[in-house]
Chains A and B, each alone.
Chain A
Amino acid sequence: MQATSGRSARPERPLSPHLQIYSPLINMVMSIVHRITGAALYVGSLLLAWWLIAAATGPEYYDYVAGFFGSWPGKIILLGYTWALMHHLLGGLRHLLWDTCRGYDLKTIDLLCWGTLAGSLALTALIWIGVAASGGL
């Protein structure tokens, strides 16, 4: 008699299509971007720690670190960090709203997802305009 379960008996079954089969929708894209920006902020926590360590170390080392953040590669990294933070922040607020079982009709989903992207870009631009206006660039 054939075993009804177990690792050896695994019939060839059709597999369900995976991600690459479907054309990307904005909610799918925002979902993975939320995870990617989260991972980026994870690495980016080193920047904050480095800055705090530098401030606690002394003027020479602080000037060196501040000099790096003020250089072009440093600015590009900080610009990316700003966007990742804003995107993950807005995406997180969207998820908190969804946690309350609100905002699940298709129009609202699209609006919230596009809003996350547009809002993160707008906030990033605002922050950097603010820095530029105060002469920080």
Chain B
Amino acid sequence: MAMRTPLKTARYLGSAKEGADHFWKQRVTAVSNAFLAVFLVWLIVSLTGADYATVKHELGNPLIALGLLALVLSGTIHMRLGMQTIIEDYVHDEGLKVVALMLNTFFAIFIALASIFSVLKLSFGA
């Protein structure tokens, strides 16, 4: 006769106590993204068809660089949280899910670092 209760298999598979944090970060970055998306559209539209010298000069403007850095930070945090939710909803195999969540983080960090490096190079580089 088994003396152990099904609690053994359920333990550690419950809430990670991070839900409210996830929810709140998603909302905070949603609000900042709403403004930064308008900035992005304005920036892209105003630089459409511009030659390289103009683009380099504009992206080197401190206000535009700060706006882009804010957009990249806010956007990558937001998209990582969103994709995490999608993965957790649709990927049910535990191993695959862990791998997908890890790749999601790596992708978001790659986008963030590559973009931030480029913006900083345009501002400070020769």
Contact = CB atoms under 8 A, between A and B. Distances in A.
Contacts of B75: 45
A89 B78 CA distance: 12
Interface in A18-47: 35, 38-39, 41-42, 45-46
How would you classify the secondary structure of chain B's contact residues: helix, strand, loop or mixed?
helix
B25 interface: no
A112 interface: no
B41 A82 contact: yes
B14 to A, nearest CB: 16
A63 B52 contact: yes
B63 to A, nearest CB: 16
Contact of A41 (B6, B45, B79, B125): B79
A16 interface: no
Contacts of B114: 49, 52-53
A5 B122 CA distance: 62
Q: How large is the interface on A (under 10, 10 to 19, 20 to 34, 35 or more residues)?
A: 35 or more
Contact of B115 (A49, A70, A92): A49
B55 interface: yes
A56 B118 contact: yes
A137 B41 CA distance: 15
Interface in B11-46: 27, 30-31, 33-34, 37, 40-41, 45
Interface string A54-65: 011011001100
Interface string B65-82: 000100010011001001
How would you classify the secondary structure of chain A's contact residues: helix, strand, loop or mixed?
helix
Contacts of A135: 49
Nearest to B75: A45
Given A85-B41, A92-B30, A136-B49, A45 B79 contact: yes
A110 to B, nearest CB: 23
A29 to B, nearest CB: 17
Contacts of A53: 114-115, 118
A42, A46, A62, A95: residue with the most chain B Cβ atoms closer than 10 Å:
A42
A52 B45 contact: no
Interface in A81-110: 82, 85, 89, 92-93, 95-96, 99
**Top-9 shortest CB links A-B:** A136-B48, A56-B118, A52-B118, A59-B52, A56-B121, A136-B49, A42-B79, A49-B115, A62-B52
Given A45-B79, A56-B121, 17 more contacts: A5-B6, A38-B79, A38-B86, A45-B111, A49-B118, A52-B119, A53-B115, A53-B118, A55-B55, A55-B122, A56-B122, A63-B52, A89-B33, A92-B33, A99-B27, A131-B45, A136-B48
